Chain A
């Protein structure tokens, strides 16, 4: 019974694993400053990886779920999820920048690069002594939006695939299926948001940060971990058909 469920849903299993890997990769793009950034002593948004990834990713899940309610078209659902997550992370970063500039009174500056790779603006002159940069320079903002988009696509891929498993099992889109699929998507999302946060060790500025090159380690870990999570999720959702 269990093996049948897995074989019948092998393509959705693959989609879930791809989604998990995308989420894991996306976290490396998000400018996470952690506790130091909350005191404007490091570049990035002043909270942890998990909170940021969850905030943006879960918004992506909601917008993907909304789209899936109306239409069964994978590209549109993925686009909806990506846009939702990108809007959420952009709003977080804009408000963060406002607070850093007008509240704390520091200029956005990166301590990891001398010139902003996108605008070419000088950075090191503006970094306050004793800090590792502060605020969100343009490159961090762009990187964060890319991260939000990838995370949103990953989250909606998982949601879409699990939803397909659920609909195949029960042949209807009931609140049982939606509830179960949503909580599984959230669970897998959190697992894949925490693994890369251990990889980057709490803070990262974006794709220009030297730590960004460590992403293959987190992606491999997430790949393995998501396979197991996906297997149990698919089996549990397939059991809905027998209720």
Chain B
């Protein structure tokens, strides 16, 4: 049984190139701005989270395109492999990239590992999904940018020693792993079906990214103080509210009819 997906190419109103642009440029700009500006004021580290949201939207779009072919297994698997590849590549990139090139090295190494796994999936395992290689590159790249973006929110920098001390050693990295994975896998998993629409799926991606920003904001309290944590979490809540409102509008647009079920009947009414 193929879980999810109609076995054909997904129709999109935003092209894969547009989404790739949003993910790579938005993600890297957000991460660098967050890291460069946060010494002036710790609050500004939330920009890394905006970069992470861009990367999550990109990753969710790539998952949407590849999972539309039907993976044979559930959509969650691809989100988990994305973050599995992403976490290995991003920590490697930060460790050898130094204080400036880290995110770029991480992104390139994630894309390389993604390309290898995509090739293996098609050539050795024989999945036969035409866009598997490209999608794996995109998903791994998005995964690494999400991880570095959220690390930047928590530490205010992406330097290896700071990330190890403030994100990896306290265990926040596990939370980033699951939240980033959720952001990438959940939107398509929640919206899949014959009437799946790109804008509706991606509005869930923004909403999930905003939730990750809220949690990363709270985690940043230990390093950047309560004020920065509060502002970051508040920005996350605002983005979450806007995205969820938009999502609900899309749901009402795509639904045949939205009706209220009313309150549960009281005991007297049942008699």
Contact = CB atoms under 8 A, between A and B. Distances in A.
Judge: A and B partners, yes or no: yes
B226 interface: no
B168 A202 contact: no
Q: Say what secondary structure dominates the interface of chain A.
A: helix
Interface string B55-96: 000000000000000011110111011011111110110111
Interface stretch (B18-26, B119-127, B201-209): B119-127
Interface string A174-218: 111011100110111111011101111111000000000000011
A34 B73 contact: yes
Interface string B102-136: 00000001001100110011001111000000000
Residue from A35, A175, A190 having most chain B Cβ neighbours under 10 A: A190
A48 B74 CA distance: 7
A62 B177 CA distance: 17
A235 B92 contact: yes
Contacts of B6: none
A106 interface: no
B173 interface: yes
B3 interface: yes
B73, B78, B120, B161 pick with most chain A CB within 10 angstroms:
B73
Interface stretch (A80-88, A133-141, A148-156, A219-227): A219-227
A184 B88 contact: yes
A51 B95 CA distance: 30
Contact of A34 (B3, B81, B88): B3
A228 B73 contact: no
Contacts, number: 153
B125 A199 contact: yes
A186 B168 CA distance: 13
A199 to B, nearest CB: 5
Contact of B109 (A199, A200, A232): A232
Nearest to A199: B125
A101 B125 CA distance: 35
Contacts of B87: 183-184, 186-187
Contact of B95 (A178, A225, A236): A236
B125 A221 contact: yes
B164 interface: yes
Contact of A202 (B1, B112, B117, B174): B1
B120 A239 contact: no
A178 B3 CA distance: 37
Nearest to B117: A225
A240 interface: yes
B76 A198 contact: no
Contacts of A236: 88, 91-92, 94-96
A48 B2 contact: no
B91 A202 contact: no
Contact of A225 (B94, B96, B116, B174): B116
A109 interface: no
Nearest to B162: A243
Interface residues of A, number: 49
Contacts of A54: 80
A117 to B, nearest CB: 24
Contacts of B244: none
A179 B164 contact: yes
A50 interface: yes
B160 A243 contact: yes
A229 interface: yes
B264 interface: no
Interface in B139-180: 160-161, 164-165, 168-171, 173-174, 177
A194 B173 contact: no
A181 to B, nearest CB: 10
21 contacts: A34-B74, A183-B87, A183-B168, A184-B87, A184-B88, A186-B174, A187-B177, A188-B88, A190-B80, A190-B83, A193-B80, A195-B120, A195-B125, A198-B125, A199-B125, A202-B1, A202-B2, A202-B71, A221-B124, A232-B92, A235-B95
Closest 5 CB pairs of A and B: A190-B84, A232-B92, A201-B72, A239-B95, A194-B81
Interface of A: 2, 34-36, 42, 48-51, 54, 174-176, 178-180, 183-184, 186-191, 193-195, 197-203, 217-218, 220-221, 224-225, 228-229, 232-233, 235-236, 239-240, 243
